[in-house]
Structure 1
Amino acid sequence: MLNIHQLTKTVGGRTLFEDAKLTVNWGERVALVGPNGAGKSTLFRLILGQDEPDAGTIEMDEYGIVGYLSQESGDPGEETIMELATGITPEVANAMKVMRECEAKGDHTSKEFADAQDTFDAANGYALEPKAKKILAGLGYKEEEFNKPAKEFSGGWIMRANLARLLVQEPDLLMLDEPTNHLDLLSLIWLQRYLQNYPGALFVISHDRDFMDEIIETVYEIDEQKFINYTGNYSAYEVEREKRYEQKVAKYRSQQKEIERIQEFVDKFRNVGSKASQVNERMKMIEKLKAKLVKPQAPRKIFKFNIPDPPRSNQIVAELKQVKQAYGEKVIYDGIDLIIERGDRTVLVGPNGAGKSTLMKIIAGYVDIQGGSCELGYATKMGYFSQHRALSLNESNTVLDEVMESAPDLREDEARSILGSFLFRRNDVMKRVRVLSGGEKSRLNLVKFLVNPPNLLLMDEPTTHLDILSIEALVQALKQYKGTLLFISHDVHFIRNLAETTIHVNNGTLTKYAGGYDYFLEKSGLNDDRSAVTAS
């Protein structure tokens, strides 16, 4: 249904694609992968007609309907969450409003009500709402929130409503750019199950490898300005990519040996008159072989480094006793207890808004609790990584200076390597902190924690702004971290590899499970509860 031929696009003097081709068939599930800056979002803009290619064609089936979810949601108007999710026109939205007002008055016989109902029926409104309600519930909305104005919600929740609208509409080609960014773990589980039964084609950009493993059957990698096709999910792609690289290396070495063999003949008989024609013929062969000789570019590897051992902490690193916390009339906690012990590796899970980040801020000392106590061990050296704060950064420093000052014993080449693993490459390390984006500041703080770690590391969504290999580098680093780790994440791969204990935060309570992600799903039953809805 989507065919791309000989696509060429240059942005800012850099060629992203050249004579590239790609196909998405009806009902196919496709992922587009590649490092940050490779051109993934640019390709989506080209497909949507928001940008023009330098050369080549992009063809959509004339009967195909395309739906697109971007990483950023625009500001909503006056519509409610339900109106946003059902994607209704202003006329239908007004009809719904009139019907609700008439129903509130007990007026079901007036011409005003009848006209509104006719408009609503013509838009198949009664079929849209039940489906939208199921989808909104799966994505984490409460029923009492359905008719609230969308502008009262955060950008992440508005993105969920926009995602719900697309799932309600069921376009033939559903294009999703980082759809898991604003989802909590349980909503992510629900979305995975829903998309497994989605009737249309999927074209997805994601840094969540487990999400892609669950739903993807074809992977296109942007590599050397081409779209390279792989059959299977993300894990299968990784295996096949390594095989293809090894085959390219073997072919390259074989070509080198062939050139060397022919060159030996040329060198041996170069000055022998009777062999002149044969020498000339072989010299031409060498030129042809050299023209085809291209050294394979090795796939980007996971950078591994050793986190220094933090100072030893007390056995009890932090303890909460009868903690109470509220924001206005909204009570988050009313007398909770929690003990964090040395060496714990704990993930906080639960719906957005349940209080996971609040709990972490209480432990970090970033909010004043309204009741109870939070005590750190006397030897606890606490570090708090928040995706929303640029903590303790010197705006005048370069990126490299900031890291070197954090760990004076670190060599410059080591600092550059670690920064490169977290997407600060070449001249990026010489940027001043003041000019960095929010995502870049977040990544820089992450590196600072890794080169000079505390013995209690609190991390709120540390994988945001990282690509897949950077996430894997962080996983490998934290695996050998000797301190105590408490984190929030919706990245299943990250959780599976690091969590040894799970705390479910919901409705003001903390439920502790003595195991990681899969143990939690098995014992809690939440996997079955939230994944029951399927595309229909």
Structure 2
Amino acid sequence: MLTIKNLTKTMGGRTLFQNAEMTINWGERMALVGPNGAGKSTLFNIILGKEDADEGTVDRDEYAIVGFLAQEAGDPTDETVLEIAIGINPEMVEALRVLREGEAKGEHGTEAFAKAQDVFDANNGYQLEPKAKKILGGLGYAEEEMNRPAREFSGGWVMRAHLARLLVMEPDLLMLDEPTNHLDLLSLLWLERYLHSYPGAIFMISHDRDFMDSLAETVVEIDAEKFITYTGNYSNYLEERGKRYEQALQTYRNKQKEIERVEEFIDRFRSVASKASQVQSRIKQVEKMRAEVVKPNPPRKLFKFNFPEPPRSNQKVVELTNIHQAYGDKKIYKGLDLTIERDDRIVLVGPNGAGKSTLLKIIAGIVPIDQGDIKMGYLTKMGYYSQHRADSLNENNTVLEEVLEANPEFNEDDARSVLGSFLFRRTDVHKRVKVLSGGEKSRLNLVKFLVDPPNLLLMDEPTTHLDLLSIESLVKSLKNYKGTLVFISHDVHFIRNLATTTLHVNNGEVTRYTGGYDYYLEKSGLGDDARGGVTAK
């Protein structure tokens, strides 16, 4: 379907790919991995024709249709959500609008209405509309929301409409750049199940390990300017990559021993005239061997560090009684009672907009409640991490200074190690906070929590802005965390590894499941046999 040969691309003086090659076959499910900055999005842009390669070719079957979901949808227009989902081409969007306006005005006999009907029929509109509605429903839209203009929704919800459009269109190659970023867990479950029966090929970039494990049949890693292909899902890739590195390292060691053996011959007979030609031959041999032998780069390793133990809290860390909270006319909570106890590991799940982040903010004291009582244990030391909150940072500090001030007992080497695990490398640690991006500030805030942890840690989407290895390092760190954890995440791997209690939040009700994510799926009827939705055909 798609073949890349001898691809070379340099950006800003740095070579991303050099003579790199890969193939995507019809119906293949492929994940593209590599550290941030490796060139994953650049490769997508080259395939889509948005960027030119320096050298090499991208050959696509002339009959193959490609669909692409970007991380951002751009500014929403007056199109309705349903129009976006059905809009496989501009003519279809316009035809749908003319038909709806004609029906609303009772103008069924006009020439414009007749032409619109012809376009609608030619594009199988009667099949597309029901399919689009089912897909939008699976992605979380209520039916009454589908005819509202997209500009009335947040960027994340608009992205869902564009994802629905691609699924309705069913391109032969579906290219997805972080498709799970704007989905809640229920929508993620639905999408994962839907894509299992998707008829075309899928090429994805994702930081969601479970999503890739569920769907990927092939993993392509960008490493050392090449595309390295592995058979299997992401977990298979990790295992195979480790084996390949050990094999390559052993080959390198064997070659080094061979070079040493030849050099011994050269040193022994360098001054022997009768061996001069053999010595010169060996010198050339060693030069060639040294040019060919390259020590393999080891895979990035998980960050290992024992974080400070927080002070012990009371048994009851925080108690909420009869909480009432509303935003204008919208009531979020009405009479909520909730107790969080020492060593709880709680994940909040539920649809977007259900009130999960509001509940964290209520506990943190950031959102004032309309009514009720919040009783914090007198030994509770609370910390609230939000990906959008950076006001606790000193903008005049460097990244390194900010971490050292957070815990004066830390030495510089420890600080550099933890910062490196969360994508602050080498000279990055000397950047001033005021020049950091929003994502960098979020990661720095996260590091500050880890080096001086409270005994009640509230975290809202902590894996945002992290790559896969950083997420794994965070999982490992939080597994060893000796405190109470309450968090929101749509990363299933993160949830599965950390949550021991699940709170489902919806319509002002909080339902407790005394078990982790899989227990919640089983007891709530959301397991593999009850996910519902529409399958691709």
| Residue-pair matches, total | 536
CA–CA distance in 1 between the matches of 2:423 and 2:87?
A: 38
Q: Is the 8 A contact 2:457 2:486 kept in 1?
A: yes
SS of the residue corresponding to residue 49 of structure 2 reads coil
2:412 corresponds in structure 1 to 412
Residues 365, 437 of structure 1: CA spacing in aligned structure 2 closer, same or farther, 3 A cutoff?
Answer: same
Residues 190-269 of structure 1 aligned to structure 2 (within 5 Å)? 190-269=190-269
The CA deviation at 1:532 is 4.0
| Distance in structure 1 (CA, Å) of the matches to 2:480 and 2:71 | 33
* Counterpart Cα distance in 2 of 1:470 and 1:391: 23
Alignment root-mean-square deviation, CA: 1.6
Does the aligned pair in 2 maintain the 1:391–1:445 contact within 8 Å? no
Task: Return the letter of the residue paired with 1:179.
Answer: P
Which amino acid letter does the alignment assign opposite residue 200 of structure 1? G
CA distance in 1, matches of 2:95, 2:259: 77
Residue 87 of structure 1 aligns with which residue?
Answer: 87
Determine the structure 2 residue equivalent to 1:32: 32
Amino acid in structure 2 at the alignment position of 1:496: R
Long gaps (5+) in structure 1: none
**Aligned residue identity for 1:229:** T
2:445 alignment counterpart: 445
1:534 — aligned with what? 535
Letter in 2 for 1:513: Y
1:309 to 1:95, Cα distance in 2 relative to 1, 3 A = same
Q: 1:250 to 1:454 in 2, by over 3 A?
A: same
| Equivalent residue number for residue 290 of structure 1 | 290
Aligned to 1:432: 432
In structure 2, the partner of 1:58 is 58
Q: Offset at 1:7?
A: 0.8
Deviation at 1:113, TM superposition (A): 5.0
Cα distance in 1 for partners of 2:110, 2:68 equals 40
Once residues 190 and 445 of structure 1 are traced to their aligned partners in structure 2, the CA distance between those partners, rounded to angstroms, is 33
TM-score between the two structures when normalised by the length of structure 2: 0.97
Q: Distance in 2 between matches of 1:303 and 1:255?
A: 31
- Contact 1:187/1:530, CA 8 A, preserved across alignment: no
How far has the Cα of 1:104 moved from its partner?
A: 4.5
1:284/1:504 Cα in 2 relative to 1: closer, same or farther (>3 Å)? same
> Structure 2: which 5+ runs fail to align?
none
Q: Describe how 1:492-507 pairs up with structure 2 within 5 A.
A: 492-507=492-507
Aligned residues of 2:134 and 2:533 also touching (Cα < 8 A): no
Following TM superposition, by how much is the alpha carbon of 1:120 offset from its aligned partner in structure 2, in angstroms? Answer: 2.6
| Number of the residue aligned with 1:316 | 316
Return the alpha-carbon distance in structure 2 between the equivalents of residues 81 and 417 of structure 1. 46
Alignment of 1:55-454 (within 5 A): 55-87=55-87, 92-104=92-104, 114-454=114-454
For residues 100-134 of structure 1, give each alpha carbon's deviation from its aligned partner in whole angstroms, at most 9, with x where no partner exists: 44545666667665554334323322111111111
Q: Distance in 2 between matches of 1:138 and 1:155?
A: 18
Cα offset, 1:241, TM superposition: 0.6
Is the alpha carbon distance of 1:115 and 1:9 closer, same or farther for their aligned partners in structure 2, counting shifts above 3 Å? Answer: closer
Stretch of structure 1 that moved more, 265-274 or 193-202 = 265-274
SS in 2 for 1:526: coil
Once residues 217 and 96 of structure 2 are traced to their aligned partners in structure 1, the CA distance between those partners, rounded to angstroms, is 41
Does the CA contact (< 8 Å) of 1:194 and 1:531 recur in 2? Answer: no
Cα deviations by residue, 1:54-91 (Å, 9 ceiling, x for unpaired): 11111111111110011111112110000011115555
Alpha-carbon distance between aligned partners in 2 of 1:503 and 1:134, rounded to the nearest angstrom: 27
Greater Cα offset, 148-157 or 80-89: 80-89
1:268 CA displacement? 2.2
Q: Structure 2 vs 1, CA of residues 222 and 93 (structure 1 numbering), >3 Å: closer, same or farther?
A: closer
Q: Could you report, residue by residue, the CA deviation over 1:230-250 in whole angstroms, capped at 9, with x for unpaired residues?
A: 111111111111111001111
Question: Does the aligned pair in 2 maintain the 1:69–1:163 contact within 8 Å?
Answer: yes
Q: What's the % identity of the aligned pairs?
A: 71
Q: Deviations over 1:420-478 (max 9, x none)?
A: 10001111111111111111110000000000011100000000000000000000000
Contact 1:138–1:530 (Cα < 8 Å) also in 2: no
Residue 43 of structure 2 corresponds to which residue in structure 1? 43
> SS of the counterpart of 1:332?
strand
